[in-house]
Amino acid sequence: MADAVSKCVHCGFCLAACPTYSELGSESESPRGRIVIMKEVLEGTLTVADAAPHVDACLGCLACEPACPSGVPYRDLISSYRAQTNPQRKRSFVDKLKRQVVSNTIPYPSRFQTGAKLGRLAKPLKNFLPKSFQPMLELLPDEALPPMVVYPPTVTPDESVEVRGRVALLLGCAQQALDPDINDATIEVLNRNGIEVVIPETQGCCGALSWHVGELKDAQKFAINNLGAFPADIDAIITNAAGCGSGIHEYPLILKGTSAEAAAQAMAERTFDITAYLAKLGNLAPISAPSRPVRIAYHDACHLANAQGVRVQPRDLLRTIPGVEIIEIPDGGTCCGSAGTYNIDQPEIAASLGRQKAEHIRNTQPEMIASGNIGCLTQLRTHLNNDGQQPIPIRHTIQILRDAYAGSL
């Protein structure tokens, strides 16, 4: 943490990249300002309580990192600071209850699905609930959630396809409840390209949601479980949710100083986003031309582009589909406002960013939207469906590839 603080030379390049600085216009709501605030807390010249509103407002989108000429590892600073100071926070009863509800539902797909069903029934009563609980209900889809999918331990390619490798798939938490078809599509595309897919039975939440809100013990528990769940005899671990992939890449920091640190580093090094893995695999099965040209606006998920550096691969994969035109979104590097539980913790800022993102997307006049994170897909769908205009299909990149292979794009 001290190394991250010392690298900042307060040049200000991060200001223009920071969504909360753009929203709130205060130095204290910029990466540079937050670094100063966190440093003062660590030195004892500022209380945790006084720093909390400014640190809590940070999305953790990491747009500041590629903008920083000094290479400040802001991700190491913000999450470590939250973990270190979280035990000192004094929270209201309602805030504690909200955090308990989130931490005991979202990381567990079956519980989340049950909670979502109850939440849909409670939607008409949301105005009678505490204000901090209302955003949870507003984010739930109006339609019923799809049924949970139970996968076999291993899914193998068709006999007509030459086997080229073997990987394990992280299924994700909210994704299993909100859109399990993303995992179906991932398995189908991998199988079509000769990759055997292992589904570890004892896998669980990656721990990113806990880590990013300072719940270190929970994050460590989830990380250690996954270290034991994923087998060694695979070529790679595949993620298809940007937040999950970023979370696993932070395992060495989450487990720093423990006996599991080396195993955490090894797991991080063999974990790839599905688009990065397919690009690395190469020589992919050809895709037939769609019946007509398709304009696709590609939305960069922050924890894919900024945290994992995966920007080119999804675009290149979509361009392998004949007739597809990739449309860049104006101000595309700005977070959509999803950011894990940020929608619940900072609903006003999240909603403002979501509306702006929806407007920028509308201005490109796409026929379809692609992204690589379930949180972004949910956020975009919410704001594009609520702006009074014609809905636009929103799909995960891998779903679009799967549909293109099937000739149903």
Domain positions in the chain are 2-88, 294-405
Q: 161, 158, 123: which is closest to 142 by C-alpha?
A: 123
The phi-psi region of residue 6 (left if phi > 0; otherwise alpha if psi is between -120 and 50; otherwise beta) is alpha
The residue count of the chain comes to 409
Task: Count the Cβ atoms, other than its own, within 10 Å of residue 310.
Answer: 23
Range with the poorest average pLDDT among 91-100, 189-198, 250-259, 261-270: 91-100
**How high is the pLDDT of residue 394?**
96
Q: Which residue shows structure tokens 């747009």?
A: 63
Range with the poorest average pLDDT among 30-39, 144-153, 168-177: 144-153
CATH architecture of the domain with range 2-88 = Orthogonal Bundle (1.10)
Segment holding 113, helix H or strand E? helix 109-122
Q: Does 4 score more than 90 pLDDT? A: no
Looking at CATH, the fold of the domain delimited by 294-405 is given as: Rossmann fold (3.40.50)
**How high is the pLDDT of residue 122?**
76
How far is residue 362 from each of residues 45, 296, 327, 366, measured CA to CA in Å? 47, 12, 11, 7
**How high is the pLDDT of residue 1?**
60
Model confidence over 183-195: pLDDT tens digits? 999 999 999 999 9
**How high is the pLDDT of residue 314?**
98
Beta strands in 174-319 (DSSP E): 195-198, 236-239, 271-273, 294-298
Two structure tokens written together for 33 = 């300002």
Model confidence over 29-52: pLDDT tens digits? 999 999 999 999 999 999 999 999
Model confidence over 278-303: pLDDT tens digits? 999 999 999 987 777 899 999 999 99
Model confidence over 46-84: pLDDT tens digits? 999 999 999 999 999 999 999 999 889 999 899 999 999
Helix, coil or strand: residue 350: helix
Two structure tokens written together for 336 = 């959509």
Q: Which residue shows structure tokens 């636009």?
A: 392
Find the angle CA(68)-CA(297)-CA(19) to the nearest 5 degrees: 35
Averaged pLDDT, 74-99 = 90
**How high is the pLDDT of residue 396?**
98
Please, is 124 exposed, middle or buried when counting C-beta atoms within 10 Å of its C-beta (0-12, 13-18, 19+)? exposed
Q: What is the dihedral of CA 140, 144, 150, 156, to 10 degrees?
A: -90
Model confidence over 353-408: pLDDT tens digits? 999 999 999 999 999 999 999 999 999 999 998 888 999 999 999 999 999 999 88
Contacts 24+ apart (CB under 8 A), 87-95: 88/48, 89/48, 89/49, 89/52, 89/214, 90/49, 94/130, 94/132, 94/133, 95/132
Helix, coil or strand: residue 344: helix
Averaged pLDDT, 107-130 = 80
**How high is the pLDDT of residue 12?**
85
The phi-psi region of residue 8 (left if phi > 0; otherwise alpha if psi is between -120 and 50; otherwise beta) is beta
Model confidence over 314-347: pLDDT tens digits? 999 999 999 999 999 999 999 999 988 898 889 8
Q: Does 256 score more than 90 pLDDT? A: yes
pLDDT, averaged across the chain: 92
First-to-last C-alpha distance (Å) of the chain: 47
